[in-house]
Amino acid sequence: MSLASPSSSVPAGTPAPIGRLGFVGLGAMGLPMAQHLLAHPGGLRVWNRDPAKADSLIAAGATLAASPSDTAEPGGVVFSMVADDAALRAVSTGPAGLVGRLGAGGIHVSCSTVSPDTLRDLARQHAEHGEHLLACPVFGRPDAAAAKKLWVLMAGPAEACARVEPLLSLIGQGAQALGQDHAAAAALKLAGNFMILAAVESIGEAMLMAEQHGVARTDFATFFGRTLFACPIYQNYGMQVAQRRYQPAGFRLRLGLKDMNLVSQAAAQVQVPMPLVDLLRQGLTGAMAKGRGEFDWTGLELGIAEAAGQHPTIPTQT
């Protein structure tokens, strides 16, 4: 299924067949994504900094690569899903990196959440070798990845999009084509994470105010989840905030801050003031100072309550 909108469609044609796939980065997101790609008939060659994470994949038929570059075959397709800009550069450049090892027509499908700048820069480096970079960041937590329910963005050269799109349908609910500019995919992904956390901020402020006027926190979450905001982001995060279940983390607060810093930089680059991003960054910075980097990013809410003189009880981790 394609989400492609009229203004950013993928051209028709008969893309070249794809042989063995590569996958670099088997973290909480990467591993379930790679598992789905085992369905691709050509085989899968994987690499992770800690190779033990690859065990289940190897048991299921994947092979272990000695380096990121070792996952590539000439003209082939390699996915990467790593933690941040630095990690993406690390697996892309240098003697062990993907750049220059994919070869003419090869495609690096980058699924990480990184800055527009990093993607543009790596795309340029790949292009010097006749290789393509596709920017394919994804929305969804690990459980969505496992359930094949990720939403995938896709930006890059049209022929590479056409070739890779069927693979993307193996890992998600469909790909949103965004044209040729890699920055667009990076920006849309960052925009989404920002909007989610902005929703958390609004829920946190409003719920506390209403609670002080006599509305039970779970009633608040239930009501809005059934009515005005009947979508999972508000339903799930609303109840999580109501109950203050911030551990274990679905998405770690320190990564949330990393992402909001990327949003801030992406906005600065195009000279767009985003005061709401700054508000979120302030809250996350304070949460880091309070030792909450490993909390779920919705733990941002605790700072709202503390600024109002509250000392919220956090449920024991289960």
Q: Which of residues 100-119 bind a second copy (CB under 8 A)?
A: 116
Q: Give rounded-to-5 percent helix, strand, coil for the chain.
A: 50, 10, 40
C-beta of 73 vs 301, nearer to a second copy: 301
Please, are residues 78 and 25 in contact by the beta-carbon 8 Å criterion?
no
Strand partners, 78: 22, 108
User: Is residue 124 within the footprint of a second copy (CB under 8 A)?
Assistant: no
Shortest distance, position 303 Cβ to a second copy, whole Å: 7
C-beta of 54 vs 304, nearer to a second copy: 304
Shortest distance, position 95 Cβ to a second copy, whole Å: 24
Number of residues that bind a second copy (CB under 8 A): 84
Q: Residue length, the chain?
A: 318
C-beta of 70 vs 278, nearer to a second copy: 278
Q: Give the neighbor-by-neighbor strand order of the sheet with 44-47.
A: 63-64, 44-47, 21-24, 77-80, 107-110, 132-135
Out of 87, 154, 168, 277, the only residue in the binding site for a second copy (CB under 8 A) is 277
C-beta of 18 vs 146, nearer to a second copy: 146
Distance CA 43, CA 240 (A): 40
Out of 309, 313, 316, 318, the only residue in the binding site for a second copy (CB under 8 A) is 309
Out of 243, 289, 294, 315, the only residue in the binding site for a second copy (CB under 8 A) is 289
**Which of these ranges, 32-40, 57-65, 80-88, 278-286, lies near a second copy under the rule CB under 8 A?**
278-286
Shortest distance, position 192 Cβ to a second copy, whole Å: 6
Please, are residues 131 and 107 in contact by the beta-carbon 8 Å criterion?
yes
C-beta of 88 vs 260, nearer to a second copy: 260
Residues in 194-253 that interact with a second copy by CB under 8 A: 194-196, 198-199, 201-203, 205-210, 212-216, 218-220, 222-224, 226-231, 233-234
| Assigned token pair, 214 | 């006599």
Task: Provide the 3-class DSSP secondary structure of residue 274.
Answer: coil
Distance CA 112, CA 155 (A): 13
First to last CA, the chain: 38
122 phi and psi angles, rounded to 5 deg: -65, -35
Task: Provide the 3-class DSSP secondary structure of residue 24.
Answer: strand
Shortest distance, position 259 Cβ to a second copy, whole Å: 12
Residues in 148-177 that interact with a second copy by CB under 8 A: 151, 173, 176
Q: Which residues are catalytic?
A: 189
Distance CA 188, CA 170 (A): 21
80 phi and psi angles, rounded to 5 deg: -135, 145
Residues in 14-53 that interact with a second copy by CB under 8 A: none
- Cβ burial, residue 258 (10 Å; 0-12/13-18/19+): middle
Shortest distance, position 65 Cβ to a second copy, whole Å: 32
Out of 14, 50, 291, 313, the only residue in the binding site for a second copy (CB under 8 A) is 291
C-beta of 52 vs 213, nearer to a second copy: 213
Residues in 179-198 that interact with a second copy by CB under 8 A: 179, 181, 183-184, 186-188, 190-192, 194-196, 198
Strand partners, 44: 21
